[in-house]
A and B are shown apart, each in its own frame.
Chain A
Amino acid sequence: MAAVERPIIYANLRKPGYTVDLDCYLKHGGYEALKKAVAMKPEEVCKEVETSGLRGRGGAGFPTGMKWKFLDRKSGKPAYLVVNADESEPGTYKDRQIIYQDPHQMIEGIAITAWAIQAKQAFIYIRGEFQHGAKILERAIAEAKSKNFLGANILGSGYSCEVVVHRGGGCYVCGEETGLIESLEGKRGYPRIKPPYFPAVLGLYNCPTIVNNAETMAQVKHVLALGGAEFAKIGIPGDSGTHIWGVSGLVKRPGLYEIEAGKATFGELLYDLCGGPLEGRQFKAIIPGGSSTKILKFGERFKGKLPNGTEFDWALEDIPLDSNSIAACGTGLGTGGTIVIDDSVEMIQALSNLNAFYAHETCGQCTPCREGSLWLSRVSKRITTGGGMESDVPLLLDIANQVAGRTICAHGEAVAWPVQSAVPKFKDEYVESIRRRQNGEPLPKLKLI
């Protein structure tokens, strides 16, 4: 059966003539879910989200309802809601569409979430490069305030919440929640160590803070609109709702595809929806969920057991698109930003490209990450420029092994995982690349570094 899309988050913004205006949003049932939410008790809203089984859409896939439960309500300090719209994971471009084309959907989710956790102040931390996105959001917030969906005494409930849009400065590590909080406090975006700095306890201004991804906010709106139990029926047990697959790289039709969790496979996504490889090419590998997730190679077999006990034996094309199945194959669904690589690509160049990214983006706080990312970048680059030795291949792995797990934040893993996953799968090709350059043989036309 061919894969079909089931747009929920993107349902409206894809309609011809749909605009970012409040009137348009209201015509499409906008802010009805908020009305429903403020008629409920905050804890009932939290319960709905928990029942829905919604998992965060920022990459880690943490259950949203559980995250809200961790919020420290006893400290007496004000709670904050921070929305992570810093979309900076390479391969990821799903939140951009929501911000630019359906901002009210996200703002409604923010209002519902703020009510649920009783935050009187919310911040949207948006990528610095989204200048217009920030303006669109600010305009939408002003519209929402004018109709009393935000601001003082929301819909007559006696509850008030202000939302401020805060632009970042082009820094990847500020997508990490504690780095983001530091940045929002007006400092360098150095991630904080956990414990003790779990945002739900010691977050923004050392107050309890919930940090949720931009798309998660849009999903929350639909949880309330449908009710938690109904929402949980979308997708599969353990992963409810839809996932937005942002496919980029070397396929016929790159783009964003919203698919019910677990209801299609990578093969269906890449062949049916994306039209397969470019003319005369063959797929070689994919990075399934943003550049930090581990690479999968076509032709591999994936065998193991799912959390529910089912045994599986899949080719890459057979892997179902839900977080548990993808995790069982040794990688992650991440943000759903799938980067597709075909046989025209020299794998060492692809790796070197990503290594350069992580070396550029390390914040420099932890030595293993600061030094390791730079070494990885230099070693892989010297292979591509002809100065590589065969011993560089195990060296890459050795460096990566000394970074992962030894840093304050997950940037260390993001540095290491592409290398740790790619070297065992492509080491013969890397050695071949070194040999080709030593012998002065012609190189592939596509340059990636």
Chain B
Amino acid sequence: MTPLQPSTLAQADVIISQYPQKRSATMPLLHLVQEDRGHITPEDMAWVAEKVGVTPMQVLEVVTFYPMFRQHAIGRRHVKVCRTLSCALRGSYELMESLEKALQCPRGSTSPDGNFTLEFVECIADCGCGPVVQVDHTLHENVTPASAENFVQKIRASLQDPNYGKTAPQPNTPEWKG
């Protein structure tokens, strides 16, 4: 297994120092690990446990409770379609059906080429611009069934972008809203 990056290890100590009790750093460290590796392994949990002074089981409890933490690798782009009422009223179910076809990937799975993981998620708090789709850290608003094709082209193109996800968010860009 690849070790965590030095920057991850360095950030961990800064994060822990911000809290009056070390255990509070559990979730921030798990986010950090997941951003580094893409998912969380048992070894990572043991590392977090040692860092914050709890047992690995107590970290596993946290990992299994929160939907954002995952223990398995996913596709290169994580496509999360909001399915809760406001977005559903604007057509998120029909949108999901179009995306399943276009990405060749049934909801809740990863496409055979490993490029996309497609999921329904619950409300992501942008209800007036539905349907909304969050791709990794970027939010896409008003992705209607009619504009699905355009949207798929956009996220496919992002696979070729060597700087994807590396740039700091700039005000008033879609990245800013994710």
Count residues of B near A (Cβ-Cβ below 8 Å): 51
Are A246 and B127 in touch, CB under 8 angstroms? yes
Are A186 and B62 in touch, CB under 8 angstroms? yes
Within 8 A of A (CB), among B24-69: 24-28, 30-31, 52, 54, 58, 61-62, 65-69
Option from A78, A91, A136, A184 in Cβ contact (under 8 Å) with B86? A91
CB of B75 closer than 8 Å to a CB of A: no
Option from A127, A135, A168, A337 in Cβ contact (under 8 Å) with B127? A337
CB of B1 closer than 8 Å to a CB of A: no
Of the 9-residue stretches B89-97, B109-117, B150-158, which lies at the interface with chain A? B89-97
CB of B6 closer than 8 Å to a CB of A: no
Query: Which residues of the other chain, B, contact A129 by a CB distance below 8 angstroms?
Result: 68, 124-125, 134, 178
CB of B84 closer than 8 Å to a CB of A: yes
Are B28 and A249 in touch, CB under 8 angstroms? no
Within 8 A of B (CB), among A22-37: none
Shortest B111–chain A CB gap in Å is: 22
Query: Which residues of the other chain, A, contact B90 by a CB distance below 8 angstroms?
Result: 249-250
Query: Which residues of the other chain, B, contact A363 by a CB distance below 8 angstroms?
Result: 65
Query: Which residues of the other chain, B, contact A447 by a CB distance below 8 angstroms?
Result: 88, 93-94
Are B27 and A186 in touch, CB under 8 angstroms? yes
CB of B77 closer than 8 Å to a CB of A: no
Are B137 and A87 in touch, CB under 8 angstroms? no
A-B contact count (CB 8 A): 171
Q: How far is the CA of A130 from the CA of B31 in the complex (A)?
A: 12
Q: How far is the CA of A246 from the CA of B123 in the complex (A)?
A: 14
Option from B21, B31, B91, B171 in Cβ contact (under 8 Å) with A128? B31
Shortest B25–chain A CB gap in Å is: 7
Query: Which residues of the other chain, B, contact A131 by a CB distance below 8 angstroms?
Result: 137, 178
Q: Contact string, B64-89, partner A, CB cutoff 8 A, digits 1/0?
A: 01111100000000000001111011
Query: Which residues of the other chain, A, contact B25 by a CB distance below 8 angstroms?
Result: 186
Q: Contact string, A86-117, partner B, CB cutoff 8 A, digits 1/0?
A: 01111111011000100000000000000000
Query: Which residues of the other chain, B, contact A247 by a CB distance below 8 angstroms?
Result: 128
Q: How far is the CA of A188 from the CA of B126 in the complex (A)?
A: 26
Of the 9-residue stretches A296-304, A353-361, A405-413, which lies at the interface with chain B? A353-361
Given A168-B66, A186-B52, A189-B66, 16 other A-B residues pairs in contact with their CB atoms under 8 A:
A127-B125, A129-B125, A129-B134, A132-B169, A135-B168, A167-B31, A169-B68, A170-B121, A187-B58, A248-B89, A248-B127, A250-B89, A337-B127, A339-B85, A354-B84, A447-B94
Binding site for B on A (CB under 8 A): 19-20, 78, 87-93, 95-96, 100, 121, 127-132, 135-136, 162, 164, 166-172, 183-189, 205, 246-250, 254-256, 287, 291, 337, 339-341, 345, 350, 353-354, 356-357, 360-361, 363, 446-449
CB<8 Å pairs between A and B, sample of 20: A88-B122, A91-B123, A132-B137, A135-B168, A164-B18, A169-B62, A170-B121, A171-B66, A184-B24, A186-B24, A186-B26, A187-B61, A188-B62, A189-B66, A248-B128, A250-B90, A291-B85, A353-B88, A357-B85, A447-B88
